[in-house]
Structure 1
């Protein structure tokens, strides 16, 4: 039997103007947002699971939400020290370089919403945050530079589930209008593929079982039409998926 992780929802969404932001807040509405989990309740809720040995993932879209979660984790670690906890900031969209340095020091991970660059990047650039903060959203390269283990996700059904596309968005950082949001935050193809495979498995404490093809691990993998490591960042979206193998059983893709 394996216990899963615990997830806390700390704030709302950036495009909904309900994520909790540090100054200067939203471009159009100033500092607005909502706490889904009130700040006064999070320490006790998180602390109980931390002390019991669970790994916690916290939905933090805004940098103020990330700051609250980092403070909560730091205080819990002082009271109940734990190594290898792998507590994770989920979405981590506005997390700053300073916050990634704290994550690394605290042994935390980040599950970054790279699809947001493609689907909402233009809106954030023009209306929600302005150019400066939009170009440092979902700062996967900064996280890696500071030693934070990352994964990437689609937040389905908010955006479609397509891991190769998710890796592509993190590598290109291109919006639907063709704008590049923060070239310095691009991942290489290899880094993006690592994040969507072993990176996710590591955060779930399942990297001994899944996330890479190795002797002794589950026979769970995708069958692709070409080597994704040879694809361009944009070309990752065009790599054909012929099917999957799960538990040693083959499941062909629809239409193949």
Structure 2
């Protein structure tokens, strides 16, 4: 079940625990807003949990994430499931204490890591300020806790470009060339897991997809270079030469 609890930071509709860095409409106290009350969110989460449905709830601001984690906790208390794998989609402003709570609840943070590339400069300078703005999409903090995070592009908000997604998680470089939070960079293999085996795990498909091994679908790509060994800044330039889905070639370049 997909649900929404706030909007976007760049749209001034992300729900924060503290006001935006640059006031919206000259309101120094403005911190965004939720789509519904916390109580209404809890009611929907409990109903989904009771029905055995996995939840994917959109939350960008840290206050929205706080409400979502509260709802997931209440849903688990009402109808415990040992392996719910509920997801916080975007998880952009996740704080360290919230990552601890995600691990405790076995919640999956799915990071829209390309925020660092497309909006990193403006988040730092306009919407969030340097302290919060350089800590968006805290993938390394999730990795340090052993949380099986995933990465996504939120297409059509930005183009579906897996190599750019990988590049962004490894380098955290904005469109201006600035580094947005170097301490949140992750190694290439860990970023790859975020769009392969961890993504399969998130969707309860880890026995069929996500890695190349006997007994799984032959889902793979042939690349023009090795992302693990090339200069990290060149990862985004690697081309997909062939795409194979369930053993069948569905795309191939003329090269």
Q: Name which of structure 1's ranges 42-51 and 19-28 shifts more when overlaid on structure 2.
A: 19-28
Cα separation, partners in 2 of 1:15 and 1:255, compared to 1, 3 Å: farther
Gaps of 5+ in 2: none
CA contact (8 A) 1:8 1:37 kept: no
Quote the residue 2:222 is aligned against: 223
1:26 CA displacement: 4.2
Quote the Cα distance in structure 1 between the aligned partners of 2:173 and 2:248: 36
Quote the residue 2:146 is aligned against: 147
Cα deviations across residues 71-122 of structure 1 (Å, max 9, x unaligned)? 1111111121111111111100001000000000111111001111000001
RMSD: 1.4
Quote the Cα distance in structure 2 between the aligned partners of 1:215 and 1:37: 46
1:45 CA displacement: 1.0
Describe how 1:79-94 pairs up with structure 2 within 5 A.
79-94=78-93
Secondary structure of the 1:211 match is: coil
Secondary structure of the 1:95 match is: coil
1:220 CA displacement: 1.2
TM-score between both structures, scaled by the size of structure 1:
0.94
1:249 CA displacement: 1.1
Quote the Cα distance in structure 1 between the aligned partners of 2:79 and 2:132: 35
TM-score between both structures, scaled by the size of structure 2:
0.94
Secondary structure of the 2:38 match is: coil
1:217 CA displacement: 0.7
1:255 CA displacement: 5.8
1:130 CA displacement: 0.6
Quote the Cα distance in structure 1 between the aligned partners of 2:161 and 2:190: 17
CA contact (8 A) 1:154 1:166 kept: yes
Quote the residue 2:10 is aligned against: 15
Gaps of 5+ in 1: 1-5
Quote the residue 1:129 is aligned against: 128
